[in-house]
Structures are given as structure tokens and as C-alpha cells.
Amino acid sequence: MKILVAIDLSRASQRVMETARALAKALGATVTVAHVADAELEPTAFEAGHDESRRQLAAELRAEHEAVQAHAGLLRGAGIEATGLLLKGPVIATLLREIKRVGADHVVMGSHGRGALFESLVGSTSAGVVRKASVPVTIVPVRPA
């Protein structure tokens, strides 16, 4: 069995990872820890003299990559075969594509539970994945403390 765990690298990711670890242990599953990066370069960053924008983006992506790898490393430390992936693109579409690409049988992700009005106006990553995924999705409620 293969589990894809989608994390946003917020403090809530810890709770999502705990759930994924327990599920992977119980099922003897391998895990792919995935994060879809937010960082985006402004078009002007490619013009001469915008080296700082490119360096800043590179630093952000490096930090996010290291964080994803750290989460995967904790799973490996617990005896679970795990890999970490830093992805780029529209979050829902990118996660759905990755679910298929890695052959995931199950997805674990968090939901911040911001409320019905927010969800109806803005939508939700977890709701979008649940609606369109072809595999079961476990949603971990992660509310601010």
C-alpha cells in the first residue's frame, strides 16, 4: 500500500504527519510526503538587476525542500519507507496528478476548518482533493490552538 501525505508546512503539519505515521504503521504502507510550493517569481525578476528576488525564491524553496525531507526522515526513523517531494503548480491539480503518478492508494491531509462561508467563497484544498481523488482521503482536522 502507498500513502501520499499532503502537508502545507504549517504547525498543523505535525498532526497530519502523526496520523499518517500511525496509518502507515498499521497498514505496512510506504509514504510519499508532498508539499506544493507557494513561492513564485514575479515576471520582472527575470530582468537584469533582480538577482535578489531570485536568491530569495531559491532560499524559500530550499527551506521548504529541507522541511519536507525532514518530515520524511522522521517517518524513516520510525521504520517506514518514505520519500519527500517538493512540488510546484496549482495545489489541487498538482496533488491529484501526484496521487496518480506515485500510485497512491490513500491520501492523508489536513483541513483547517475555516467555516462554511470561507469554504463556499474561496474553496478548500482538502475539499477539492476529496471531490476529485480516485482513492480514499483521510482528512485530519487541524484547528488553530
Q: What 3-state class would DSSP assign to 6?
A: strand
pLDDT the model gives residue 41? 47
Q: Strand 30-37's sheet: what is its strand order?
A: 82-88, 30-37, 2-6, 106-111, 137-141
pLDDT at 50: 62
Average pLDDT over residues 129-138: 94
Predicted local distance difference test score (pLDDT) of residue 111: 84
pLDDT at position 49, please?
58
State the chain's mean pLDDT as an integer: 86
Higher pLDDT, 40 or 142: 142
C-alpha cell at 21: 505515521
Q: Note the pLDDT tens digit of each residue in 28-87.
A: 999 999 999 976 645 555 555 567 777 888 899 999 999 999 999 999 999 999 999 999
Residue with C-alpha cell 509514504?
31
Rg (CA), the chain: 16
Q: Which residue has the higher pLDDT, 14 or 46?
A: 14
The pTM of this model reads: 0.85
pLDDT of residue 23 exceeding 90: yes
Round to whole Å and give the CA distance between 4 and 43: 32
The more confidently predicted of residues 113 and 67 is 67
Alpha-carbon span 133 to 127, nearest angstrom: 10
Top pLDDT among 121 and 104 is at: 104
Query: Is a pLDDT exceeding 50 seen at residue 122?
Result: no
Indicate the SS3 state at residue 39: coil
pLDDT at 118: 42
CB 2 within 8 A of CB 103: yes
